[in-house]
Amino acid sequence: MIREYDALIVGAGGSGLYAALEASDAARAGGGKRPLRTAVLSKLHPMRSHTGAAQGGIGAALGNVEEDRPEWHAFDTVKGGDYLVDQRAAVLLAEDAVRAVYDLENRGLAFSRTPDGKIDQRRFGGHTRNFGEGPVRRSCYAADRTGHQILQTLYQQCIKNGVEFFDEFYVMDVLLSGRRCCGVVAIELATGELHTFRAKAVLFATGGFGRMFRVTSNAYANTGDGPAVLARRGVPLQDMEFYQFHPTGIRGLGILITEAVRGEGGILRNRRGERFMERFAPTLLDLAPRDMISRAILSEIKSGNGVRGDGAIDDWVLLDATHLGKDVLEKKLPDITGFSRTYLGIDPVEAPIPVQPTAHYAMGGIPTDVDGRVIADAAGDVYEGLYAAGECACVSVHGANRLGTNSLVDLVVFGRRAGRSMAAYAQEAPFAVPPDDPDGPARAEIARLKDGSTGRPANVVRSRMETVMMEKVGIFRNERDLAEAERTVAELRGSWREVRVRDSSRRFNTDLLEVLELRNLLDLAYVTAAAARQRQESRGAHARDDHPQRDDTRWLRHSLAWLKGDGTVTDSRPVDVSTWAPRPRAY
Ligand SMILES: Cc1cc2nc3c(=O)[nH]c(=O)nc-3n(C[C@H](O)[C@H](O)[C@H](O)COP(=O)(O)OP(=O)(O)OC[C@H]3O[C@@H](n4cnc5c(N)ncnc54)[C@H](O)[C@@H]3O)c2cc1C
């Protein structure tokens, strides 16, 4: 069946929903010539999107609790990203964050409050007053359920605006005619049927891909479908070597313990009870940026100061929140208090939480301009009618390392801008003609995977990918490990072609879904390893033992990588450093 929409959004997380809201509101977004038909496709029910897991808050220089300025926020974002951030985009992010937070409040988001009724704010890593003097209270929050509140607010507003939702539709392919997007092809999970959606403007907002690593804070659905589908159709990916490990995942499980615990005063300690961040970041201590704290934890572990003390990579340290008291923990951090009690049997009121770094956030992804238009080449030319926003996109406001609370800002600031720009485009543009037999390649792929032969088990391929990415493309990297990872993932991509789906049914065939998702993860893991190997310097989350210094002369560039058959082709783009000249990054 073929359906037609003006604006089509793939993904119902914070970025997709904000874009849908704006695109559907044609009066504001597109000059009000006529209402736009807007639809959202999502492989999950919108309220199960991963944005719902965001705990700690959304950064905006409201200055409700102490003096703060958007300029300081922009500077922290640039410095936090180790100067690989595009600076005009960072200024836009920080300035628009203030409007965005009040907009969310006006639309119904129930933020936590100060005693005098203002939106309350707390500290978060890397966010400082007056260009680095000390921590500032910038994170606006709704207890530790901020993302859930954002999703709920935006979903309700989309329903009000008449946005059409196709829940549990899995997008498998994008329809491109040269550099013009014409639509997508999706499987309806409930029936197994393939559907073609034609659209004037298509936005990808499919979230992150932490599932390529063994220990991760990401949900099972975070498999990078958008970037992988586009990459297989010739779209480049940008800065894929920069993958963030969050310092505090629950030991062994990876479930996130939000930075808000340290924002409220929690302290990291080693097996001797020492506050080891005093040695690594004397000014910001436990509120230094995530890349630095993750490296500090791993260095402590490697030198035998982890709790077990054997120096093995799976050792852990302790997050001590006992001095915060029951009231703060249960009122301001109820979810993580519950996680610790449920998953570890440890009450954080009485004992420290065992933590270790967990794969968390993709700084890289689909390159876009500040209006969400997808960039096609090193010259910055864009695709027509093709957009991306949220974690799957790379604007780039996070550079080499994202600051906590800046993803939620990214979703609402750039999701909104992308929605507006889609609407303006769709008001004028005609429908493009899709290729002949638009769902043919997807149909053929499914038929091949379900041909009844006995192939390799997908779980074996998946497990090898997760292990090699964790051990060789993790917090510390070097040429030998990266070359091995690249080779292994290349082999695994070959093995995937021998995988077959064992469940032949059509309805809710999760076996098929997982095999398709695995292919996406493998393609992105491959680009990540290749891009990491290529970048011979250390910057932000990309720390190379064999190239320990940042090298602005050679590497102050965004990397671009194209998937080409069994290999990758690379190029680079300039970084916008128009406001702050790169300086050494100390905290
Ligand atoms: C545990 C945790 C806590 C966090 N806390 C914070 C925080 O406090 N502050 C902060 O700023 N950031 C935080 N982050 C990061 C932030 O939450 C995410 O980066 C952000 O929510 C991603 O939003 P998104 O809109 O890009 O995608 P998501 O919310 O992940 O949504 C992706 C959407 O795409 C859909 N989709 C995916 N693939 C397909 C497909 N093939 N076909 C159809 N639909 C598809 C999914 O169904 C889903 O609707 C946290 C992250 C985690 C993991």
Ligand 1 centroid to Cα of residue 219, in Å, is: 9
- Pairwise CA distance, residues 330 & 301, whole Å: 30
- Which residues line the pocket of ligand 1, CB cutoff 6 A? 10-16, 41-44, 46, 49-51, 53-58, 146-147, 170-171, 205-208, 217-218, 221, 225, 256, 361, 390-392, 405-408, 411
The predicted-structure confidence for 305-335, as pLDDT tens digits, reads as follows 999 999 998 899 999 999 999 999 999 999 8
pLDDT at residue 26 in the model: 63
**Atom 14, ligand 1: which residue's CA is nearest?**
54
3-class DSSP state for residue 67? coil
Q: Can you spell out the DSSP letters for 158-202?
A: HHHTT-EEEETEEEEEEEEETTEEEEEEEEETTT--EEEEEEEEE
**Atom 11, ligand 1: which residue's CA is nearest?**
405
**Atom 12, ligand 1: which residue's CA is nearest?**
407
Which of 262, 290, 295, 420 is flagged as catalytic?
A: 290
- Pairwise CA distance, residues 144 & 221, whole Å: 21
- Mutation test of ligand 1: which of 17, 18, 50 has the most ligand atoms closer than 8 Å to its C-beta? 50
pLDDT at residue 128 in the model: 96
pLDDT at residue 144 in the model: 86
Q: Can you spell out the DSSP letters for 125-136?
A: EEEEETTTTEEE
Instruction: Estimate the crossing angle of helix 406-428 against helix 87-106, to 10 degrees.
Output: 90
pTM for the whole structure: 0.96
Asked if 15 contacts 205 with a C-beta cutoff of 8 angstroms, the reply is yes
| 308 catalytically annotated | no
| Residue 563 in this model has a pLDDT that exceeds 70 | yes
Task: Report the nearest atom of ligand 1 relative to the CA of 260.
Answer: 8
| Residue 264 in this model has a pLDDT that exceeds 70 | yes
| Residue 566 in this model has a pLDDT that exceeds 80 | yes
Q: What is the mean pLDDT of residues 75-84?
A: 98
The predicted-structure confidence for 162-209, as pLDDT tens digits, reads as follows 999 999 999 999 999 999 999 999 999 999 999 999 999 999 999 999
Ligand 1 centroid to Cα of residue 177, in Å, is: 29
- Pairwise CA distance, residues 235 & 223, whole Å: 18
Ligand 1 centroid to Cα of residue 503, in Å, is: 29
pLDDT at residue 1 in the model: 74
| Residue 28 in this model has a pLDDT that exceeds 60 | no
Q: Residue 452's pLDDT band (boundaries 50, 70, 90)? A: confident
Residue type, 119: I
- In whole angstroms, how far apart are CA 192 and each of 39, 103, 167, 188, 206? 20, 39, 13, 5, 20
pLDDT at residue 32 in the model: 54
The number of residues in the chain equals: 587
**Atom 10, ligand 1: which residue's CA is nearest?**
405
Per-residue DSSP letter, 501: -
Asked if 372 contacts 186 with a C-beta cutoff of 8 angstroms, the reply is no
For the chain, the straight-line distance linking the first and the last C-alpha, in angstroms and rounded, comes to 56
Ligand 1 centroid to Cα of residue 115, in Å, is: 31
| Residue 33 in this model has a pLDDT that exceeds 70 | no
Task: Report the nearest atom of ligand 1 relative to the CA of 223.
Answer: 38
- Mutation test of ligand 1: which of 167, 206, 261, 518 has the most ligand atoms closer than 8 Å to its C-beta? 206
pLDDT at residue 30 in the model: 47
**Atom 51, ligand 1: which residue's CA is nearest?**
54
pLDDT at residue 565 in the model: 86
The predicted-structure confidence for 87-136, as pLDDT tens digits, reads as follows 999 999 999 999 999 999 999 999 999 999 999 999 999 999 999 999 99
The predicted-structure confidence for 380-402, as pLDDT tens digits, reads as follows 999 999 999 999 999 999 999 99
Task: Report the nearest atom of ligand 1 relative to the CA of 151.
Answer: 29
Q: What is the mean pLDDT of residues 508-525?
A: 97
- Pairwise CA distance, residues 324 & 122, whole Å: 14
**Percent over 70 (pLDDT), the chain:** 98
Asked if 413 contacts 14 with a C-beta cutoff of 8 angstroms, the reply is no
The predicted-structure confidence for 405-435, as pLDDT tens digits, reads as follows 999 999 999 999 999 999 999 999 999 999 9
**Atom 50, ligand 1: which residue's CA is nearest?**
54
Ligand 1 centroid to Cα of residue 33, in Å, is: 33
pLDDT at residue 29 in the model: 46
**Atom 8, ligand 1: which residue's CA is nearest?**
56
The mean predicted confidence, pLDDT, of the chain is: 95
Ligand 1 centroid to Cα of residue 516, in Å, is: 19
Ligand 1 centroid to Cα of residue 139, in Å, is: 18
Ligand 1 centroid to Cα of residue 99, in Å, is: 22
Task: Report the nearest atom of ligand 1 relative to the CA of 42.
Answer: 44
Ligand 1 centroid to Cα of residue 50, in Å, is: 4
| Residue 31 in this model has a pLDDT that exceeds 60 | no
- In whole angstroms, how far apart are CA 487 and each of 2, 458, 492, 523, 562? 41, 19, 9, 13, 17
Q: Residue 268's pLDDT band (boundaries 50, 70, 90)? A: very high
Asked if 138 contacts 59 with a C-beta cutoff of 8 angstroms, the reply is yes
| Two structure tokens written together for 417 | 């801008």
Q: Residue 454's pLDDT band (boundaries 50, 70, 90)? A: confident
- Mutation test of ligand 1: which of 8, 18, 51, 225 has the most ligand atoms closer than 8 Å to its C-beta? 51
- Mutation test of ligand 1: which of 408, 445, 510 has the most ligand atoms closer than 8 Å to its C-beta? 408
